[in-house]
């Protein structure tokens, strides 16, 4: 499975792949892993199904072994998935019958996605769709956390790295930030364990309500 990079300033993950049946499952796992790194696992199930359908469509209708690319983009409260290939043949929605796997795939796309479409590119085409990622409150908390962690790591480490190194850097910053907050809590005479427990209760309550 080729590597990927996260491109600033928008959260964007680029996953090149070969249109082979074995690659589809690898691509699906890579997409879910990236969503978990972004902190939006609530969209993982829908994204996994859509990635499977979009990638399988390339295998079946463009050709096995062709080069293609999956792009994940975090856009406000939506996750956008795009699959780019070198064919200019645009899929069309039609009534799905038992032997029309493409038709069933497109109907699944319309059922899960809040919007979808196709666009022609210089190299071929892109089939895209968007799904809702989370509740507004959860999204704002996640976005605020990413901004805080990026700001937190800059004074001592310079600009955040690109690619998978950026995700590792954010995870390390999260650990350091939590440790610093616990030191601050103890210095003010509060119980760090009590603060952690209260934060966990807030998180679980909001996660259950989402």
147 and 126 fall within a common domain? no
Question: Which residues, 6+ apart, have CB-to-CB distance to 92 below 8 Å?
Answer: 106
pLDDT of residue 98: 40
State how many domains the chain has.
2
**Alpha carbons 53 and 50: distance in angstroms, whole number:** 5
122 and 176 fall within a common domain? no
Q: Tokens for 116, please give them.
A: 């979808």
**Domain termination residue (choose one: 133, 155, 184):** 133
pLDDT in tens, 158-189: 544 454 455 566 778 888 888 888 999 999 88
Report the chain's terminal Cα–Cα distance, integer Å: 33
Query: Can you tell me the mean pLDDT for 31-60?
Result: 85
Is the pLDDT reported for residue 9 higher than 60? Answer: no
**Domain termination residue (choose one: 73, 106, 133):** 133
pTM: 0.62
Is the pLDDT reported for residue 156 higher than 60? Answer: no
Count of helix runs (H) and strand runs (E) in the chain: 6, 6
Give the CATH number, domain containing residue 100. Answer: 3.30.565.10
Q: What is the mean pLDDT of the chain?
A: 78
145 and 61 fall within a common domain? no
What distances in angstroms separate CA 116 from CA 12, 19, 50, 74, one per listed residue? Answer: 18, 21, 11, 15
**Domain termination residue (choose one: 133, 151, 179):** 133
190 and 123 fall within a common domain? no
pLDDT in tens, 96-120: 444 444 445 676 777 778 889 999 9
* Total number of residues shown for the chain: 210
Q: Tell me which residue of 13, 1, 41, 18 sits closest to 167, measured CA to CA.
A: 13
- Place 136 in a pLDDT band, splitting at 50, 70 and 90: low
pLDDT in tens, 185-208: 999 888 989 989 888 888 777 766
65 and 161 fall within a common domain? no
Residue 198 structural domain: 137-209
180 and 146 fall within a common domain? yes
Strand order in the sheet with 67-75: 5-6, 12-18, 67-75, 78-85, 125-132, 115-120
91 and 122 fall within a common domain? yes
Query: Can you tell me the mean pLDDT for 117-130?
Result: 92
CB atoms inside a 10 Å sphere around CB 46? 18
112 and 174 fall within a common domain? no
pLDDT in tens, 79-98: 899 999 999 888 765 544 44
pLDDT of residue 7: 40
93 and 113 fall within a common domain? yes
Q: Tell me which residue of 34, 78, 27, 33 sits closest to 57, measured CA to CA.
A: 27
């Amino acid at each position: 499975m080729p590597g990927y990079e996260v491109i600033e300033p928008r959260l964007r993950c680029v996953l090149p792949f070969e249109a082979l049946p074995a690659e589809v499952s690898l691509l699906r796992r890579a997409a879910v892993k990236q969503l978990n790194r972004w902190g939006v696992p609530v969209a993982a199930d829908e994204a996994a199904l859509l990635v499977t359908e979009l990638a399988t469509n390339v295998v079946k209708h463009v050709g096995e072994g062709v080069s293609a690319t999956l792009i994940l983009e975090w856009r406000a409260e939506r996750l956008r998935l795009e699959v780019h290939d070198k064919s200019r043949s645009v899929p069309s929605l039609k009534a799905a019958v038992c032997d029309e796997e493409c038709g069933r795939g497109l109907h699944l796309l319309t059922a899960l996605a809040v919007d979808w479409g196709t666009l022609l590119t210089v190299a071929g085409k892109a089939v895209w769709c968007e799904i809702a990622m989370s509740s507004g409150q959860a999204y704002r908390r996640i976005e605020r956390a990413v901004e805080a962690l990026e700001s937190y790591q800059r004074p001592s480490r310079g600009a955040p790295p690109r690619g998978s190194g950026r995700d590792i850097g954010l995870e390390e910053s999260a650990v350091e930030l939590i440790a610093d907050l616990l030191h601050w809590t103890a210095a003010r005479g509060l119980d760090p364990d009590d603060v952690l427990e209260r934060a966990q209760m807030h998180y679980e309550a909001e996660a259950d309500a989402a």
